[in-house]
Each structure stands twice: as C-alpha cells, then as structure tokens.
Chain A
Amino acid sequence: MSARTSLLGIGDLSPDDIARILGTAERFGAVMERDIKKVPTLRGRTVVNLFLEPSTRTSTSFELAAKRLSADVVSIRGSGTSMEKGETLKDTILTLEAYGPDVFVIRHPQVGACALAGRYTDAAVINAGDGAGEHPTQALLDLYTVQHEVGSPDGLHIAIVGDVLHSRVARSGLRAFRMMGARVTVVAPPTLVPRHLGEAFGVEVSSDIRDIADADVVYVLRMQLERMGEGGFVPSLEEYARMYQVNHARLRPGQRVMHAGPVNRGVEISGAVVDGSDALIEAQAANGLVVRMAVLYDVLAGAASEPGTGDMALEAA
C-alpha cells in the first residue's frame, strides 16, 4: 500500500494536499482527546529521526507522533553519531538505509540536505528543517493553528516580523500562507530581508513596524543573538527591540500573535504578549503533534487511501 512521497518543502504540496493533511490532523486531534491516545495505523513501519542540529519541539513531536501511530522509532542526534567522525550525510543515509526504514525525518544545518539524502534512500524523507531553507511541518502546523483559532487563511492578512533572511520558518510559512490565499507583509530591518524577497514570494516588504497594524495575525520570528555586533545585521538587540519588538503598544486587541519558538522575551516579542490571551504560541506547540502524525500518515499511506476510509484505523488500539 505504500505510496511514499517525500515532503522536502511546501512547494511539494498543492492546496488540496494541504487541505487533506490538515483534515487528517483534525481526525488525529479527535483521537488525542481520548483516554488511550495510541492508534495502530503505522504498526510495523519504521521511522528514523535524524536530527543533526539542536531541536526540542520538532524532534519531540515527531518522535511522539510516530509512537502514537504505533511505528517503530529510532531517534539519532548529532552528537554521538558517526558523522562526528567525519562520515558524510550520504554514507550515514546509506548505512541507516540498510535497516529498511520507511521514513527518514531529517533536520540538518544545510539547505538542501534533505533533498540530497533523498537521493540515497528509497524511504520517504520529511524535512524537519534544513538550514535557512524550509521547515514545512512548521508551516503546516501554523496553518492548522490559524484555521482553528482565527479562521480560513484565505483572505487573511498575515504580518511576518523579524529575521526572514535566516529563517526556514519564514520561508515555508510565506509559501504556505500565500498558497492558501493569505496576503502577507514582511516587516523587518532591511539587513535581515533577502534581496528580491518580494519578487520571490509575492509578498509586500516593509521596514516600518507600524505596518503590522492592519494584520489579522502577527507572526514573530526568533531573533538569533549572533546576528548583532561587529559586521552584524543589527547594531544591538536593544535597538532592535525598540524598533521591531512586537508588544502591546504596537498591537490592537484581537490581533493574534504567533511564534515558532523558542522565544527571546524582551527582544523580538514582549513577555506580556507571550503570556497574553491573543498569543497562539502554546496552541502551535500542541498542534505540532497531530499535524506531524498527519504528515507521517500522509507520506506513508498518502493519496492511496483517504482518512476514515480504507485501512486507516482511527480506533484506539
């Protein structure tokens, strides 16, 4: 039954694919309300999580998602792997391939690493973040969160604020929000916006934080501390905060605020906003689990069977 389709970036998906995956996530969401949260759907399948860069949310939620689906899971971290002894990504994949995995979930510090890995395995590859490239499951869980908490993204205005240049979250998010019909404005210091971003993604670009005023959702990007200082992108984090921090002085009531985490309170976002009732940050973290269950289901069973039909067992094991 396997129709293995890799998920390397949002560009691999059509709006219909996204709707299907989010629909599956809804059904898994219902399962997670139950007492026993495990389903036999992927029994006998093997998921290898290969995380070659630090991660808490993504690695935990992928591991738990695979376990909830009854798959066998192996999780490999950057430290303690043979890659530290100089093994290339190619050789690591070829070695693990010998154990016959069905899915590789890969995080890697370099753009395109997941696509490269896909050349050396018959298993599906799910990109769990490749450098500043893409983080498609983050974008899917963001869409799921918007759909639940705000409404259909079609016609919504979403402002993305902060370091777009280095952000895979932004890159996948821009694609996904645009694909689902949202209008997107990027607000950031000019030094942290890739040249030609507007042309590349069909979005508006502004360096004025006041341009978030009209947005339904304000999506705040993490400001990485190493981006400032000598030869850096911004003069200081203090000035960055003064010019670009998302705080209550800059938000109207009812504007919803998202952040993929981890947050730097007092830098890109005020603590009061993180803790406030308009923040969707906890919902994002919670939704990560069901969306990643849906993605694992989709790459393995995928188009072969619609959720709720065929052999997808939603009943508790």
Chain B
Amino acid sequence: MSIWPSNPRVRLPQRPGRGASVVIRGARILDPASGIDRTGDLVVRDGVIGGDPDGLDEFDGTGLTVIPGLVDVHVHLRTPGKEDAEDIASGTASAAAGGVVTVLAMPNTQPPTDNASILGSLLERAGREAVVPTGFIPAITVGQAGESLTEHGDLADAGAAALSDDGVPVGSALVMRRALQYQSATGLLFTLHEEDMALSGAGVMHEGVVSARLGLAGIPGVSEAVQVARDCALADYEGARIHICHVSARGTVDEIRRAKGRGIMVTAEVTPHHLLLTEDAVGADPDPARVKMNPPLRSEDDRQALIDGLLDGTIDCIATDHAPHLTDEKERPFAEAPFGVIGLETAFAACHTELVVGGRMSLDDLVLRMSTTPARIFGLPVPALADGATANLVVVDLAGVDRVGDRPYASKSGNAAFAGRHVTGRVMMTLAGGQDVFRRSA
C-alpha cells in the first residue's frame, strides 16, 4: 500500500543493543498483513524472526497472542527543552511498555525542531538513548510561526520522517500551499494539526453542552473542519499528500470522507482518548485538567462519528498524541493548565477494550490500524511476523485486566486521561528493532 511518496532517507535510530534470542512457546501468532494466524512457537534469533529454536531462552506464550508491534506516528518526547516532563529515553521506554516499536516525535520542542542541526542532534541522541526505533518530524515553518518554510530539502536529507507544525496549524493558506508545492521535491509527508485559530479563540474545551454549563470558553468542532477543508482543497490543487492529525469532530470526518471520495491524497489518524471519552469527562472529573487536551474531547455524537470513520476507512490509523506534562503544570485552574495527556502505555489496551471487546472491530483490523497502516502511510518499516523480518513484535494477554495508574508509568509524567479506568489487554513483552525492550514484571 505504499502508494504515495515518502522520504527514502528517513532515519529511525535506536540505542545499540544485542539482538534478542527467544522462542515464544504455544502462543497465537497473528499478523493479518502477512496472512499469518496460527498457534504455535515463534522463534527469534539474534533479533530476526525464524530459524532454529535450539538453545534459545523460552517464553511461555500459552494463552497469549503475538502481534506486530505498534507504530505511533504522533508522540511528544519533550526533547529538547522540557526533559523534566519527558526525554527520549523515558518516552521510548513508555512506548516499549505499551507495545509500541516505532515512534515519530513532533517538533513543538524548546527550541522547535526546525532545522537540520537540531534534527541531527536529536537523531544522534536517539541513537544513544532511544529504547525503540525513533524518528523525528521537524517543523514545516521556522519556529512553527507559520511564516517562512524551514529547509525541507535539508531536513529530508538529514532523515526527517515527515513535516508538521503540530500544536499549531499553518495559519496562512499561502504558506501551506508553498509547503505542498515543495513536497514533489522532497517526498516529505505533511502531518497537519488542523484548527482555525480565530475560531478556536481562547477556547479550552469542546464547545457544547458541558462548556455552556461550566462557563468555559469553547473550541467549536467546525474550527477543525474548516481547516481540513482548506488543506484538502490545497492538496487537491497541488497534487500533494497530507495526513490529518488527531481528528476529533464529526464535521472533520465528513470532510475527509468527501476528499477521499474525490481522490485527494489524504490520510488521517484518531487518538484513543477521542475514541473512548467525551466532553462529559471534563464535567465529571474532580481533576478536570487531567482530561484537557487539544483538540478537546468532544460530544458523544462526534465520538460515534470517529468510530464509524475508523471502521469505514475514512480514518486510517490510531496515534496517541502522547503529550507528557508535569503534575505541577496540571495543578492549575482548567483554563491555565496545559493541553495534553500521555497515552503510549494505554493505547493498545484502551482501543482493544473499546473496539474489540466492545464488538465494533476485529482484532485483525485493530492490529492493522495501530501497526501496519501507520507504518505504510509514513513509509516506515512495517512490523511483520514473517520469517526473516526484524523482530518488531508485542506479546499481549488479551484477557488481562488492569486499572490504569495502578502500576507506575514508564513515562516521566502521569497525566493520563484513562487513569482509574479498567482496560482489557495487557502488554507482556515487546521486541523492537530486534532488541528485547520490555518485559512486564509480575
């Protein structure tokens, strides 16, 4: 499905480590993209799937399921600048604990990742610290200010995975158009935070019944939809390819569906929290800043539209928008608290609970949407369980129930929207980039 261009020079560094050697005994081995669904043993030797099991450590997989590791194309590792909230080592440890074998980090750092030298230093640091293969998405515009383009060609050469001004939209249609024109020269995908800032104004939560009740300024769903409509029209005009970040509103799903119907090269992601939670969480939570993020949790009608959009393929994949913040920053009145929630460690369990246990989606499809499809959209190595593939896999206990927050997070931050919820689907072991990166402790 790698139908569209991507950056062939993308770099996904990981800290050095020995290739894992283990035989997983008696598990269900499920890789829908490779047509694999069997029960038996899976051998990993020196970080590569397949080969001779003799002499290898054994992992009892009875009752467990091995699936391709997850690929999360939207995380914030807070490096450089906010390493007290997260750094490359802790963020990627959080990924490993959630069964995520590749992450792409957004550029809204301090300073923003907007030139090849910052990108180079991040790639170099990831090569020492990243627990799982980690790519970076530099900014579309200098300082994410929306005015002048960053050096897209240099960034492509240096190994950028895509480009984004995530956290803010590209406000000017002209600047967005120039960026899209450049895509034919660089191959870099644009992954877009979509919002009309004038419409969003001083909003801090979804504009709806709950914001009316609470007196909090609202961010209307149409703020997202109008920007998506603009960028789909521009992508159409320039023959460029765009990916829409964290779709949250019914109107946005409708815009993307129409655009796809017209053959526009647009893909989209949705977060687990938008699939599971609504504006009601803001009204009900004694600590409402815990469920403050942008785009905000919207209405139940929006949530159903997101699920429907995911099921019919309008929304292609799931990404967390993992956004760590310190407790101190969140212990403020709602309007003053920063946007964002962590999500890497709970994404699989949350989605498995809501969509698969909830009867909306097959496990096969969930694996595609959290692993195969995002990898293909971004032109990344596709995790697979076929012989000869690098071990990028996760062993899950699909019956295991946890209450989120009972175990310490691997992330440096604990701002989890799902804290206190019971979720079904437990990550037991993760192999990423051939390395053994996570084992659940008893």
- Where the two chains meet, the residues of A that have a C-beta atom closer than 8 Å to any C-beta of B are 88-90, 108, 110-113, 115-116, 119, 130-134, 168, 171, 194-197, 199-201, 231
Q: CB distance A111 to B216 under 8 Å?
A: yes
Q: CB distance B209 to A196 under 8 Å?
A: yes
Interfacial chain A residues near B213, Cβ < 8 Å: 171, 200-201
CB of B334 closer than 8 Å to a CB of A: yes
Q: CB distance A110 to B335 under 8 Å?
A: yes
Q: CB distance A111 to B335 under 8 Å?
A: yes
A142 and B328 CA atoms in complex are apart in Å by 38
Partner of A88, one of B207, B209, B332: B332
Tell whether A111 pairs with B334 under 8 Å between CB atoms, given A195-B207, A195-B218, A195-B220: yes
CB of B58 closer than 8 Å to a CB of A: no
A271 and B210 CA atoms in complex are apart in Å by 36
Q: Which chain B residues numbered 205 to 224 have a C-beta less than 8 Å away from chain A?
A: 207-218, 220
Q: CB distance A110 to B334 under 8 Å?
A: yes
Q: CB distance A194 to B218 under 8 Å?
A: yes
Q: CB distance A113 to B333 under 8 Å?
A: yes
Interfacial chain B residues near A197, Cβ < 8 Å: 212
Interfacial chain A residues near B288, Cβ < 8 Å: 112
Q: Which residue from chain B places its CB closest to the CB of A117 in the assembled complex? A: B333
Q: CB distance A89 to B332 under 8 Å?
A: yes
Residue among B207, B209, B215, B334 with most chain A CB within 10 A: B215
Interfacial chain B residues near A201, Cβ < 8 Å: 212-213
Interfacial chain A residues near B198, Cβ < 8 Å: 231
Tell whether A196 pairs with B216 under 8 Å between CB atoms, given A88-B331, A111-B333, A112-B334: no
CB of B336 closer than 8 Å to a CB of A: yes
Partner of B335, one of A89, A131, A194: A131
In the assembled complex, how far is the CB of residue B416 from the closest CB belonging to chain A, in whole angstroms?
A: 18
Interfacial chain A residues near B331, Cβ < 8 Å: 88, 90, 116
A-B contact pairs, 19 of them (CB 8 A): A88-B328, A88-B331, A88-B332, A90-B331, A110-B334, A111-B214, A111-B333, A112-B214, A112-B288, A112-B335, A113-B333, A116-B333, A132-B216, A133-B214, A194-B211, A194-B212, A195-B212, A199-B209, A231-B198
Q: CB distance A110 to B336 under 8 Å?
A: yes
Interfacial chain B residues near A89, Cβ < 8 Å: 332-333
Interfacial chain B residues near A88, Cβ < 8 Å: 328, 331-332
Q: CB distance A131 to B220 under 8 Å?
A: no
Tell whether A132 pairs with B215 under 8 Å between CB atoms, given A90-B331, A116-B332: yes
Interfacial chain B residues near A132, Cβ < 8 Å: 215-217
Q: CB distance A134 to B215 under 8 Å?
A: yes
Q: Which chain B residues numbered 111 to 154 have a C-beta less than 8 Å away from chain A?
A: none
A189 and B88 CA atoms in complex are apart in Å by 51
Q: Which residue from chain A places its CB closest to the CB of B282 in the assembled complex? A: A112
Q: Other than A110-B335, A199-B209, give 17 A-B pairs with Cβ distance below 8 A.
A: A88-B331, A110-B333, A111-B216, A111-B333, A112-B216, A112-B334, A112-B335, A116-B333, A119-B286, A131-B335, A132-B216, A132-B217, A133-B215, A168-B215, A195-B207, A196-B207, A200-B209
Q: Which residue from chain A places its CB closest to the CB of B201 in the assembled complex? A: A231
Tell whether A171 pairs with B208 under 8 Å between CB atoms, given A89-B332, A110-B335: no
Interfacial chain B residues near A112, Cβ < 8 Å: 214, 216, 288, 333-335
A110 and B288 CA atoms in complex are apart in Å by 13
A11 and B214 CA atoms in complex are apart in Å by 11
In the assembled complex, how far is the CB of residue A199 from the closest CB belonging to chain B, in whole angstroms?
A: 5
Name the 10 nearest CB pairs between A and B, nearest first.
Answer: A110-B333, A132-B215, A194-B212, A200-B212, A133-B215, A113-B333, A200-B213, A196-B209, A112-B334, A196-B212
Residue among B207, B210, B334 with most chain A CB within 10 A: B334
Q: Which residue from chain B places its CB closest to the CB of A199 in the assembled complex? A: B209
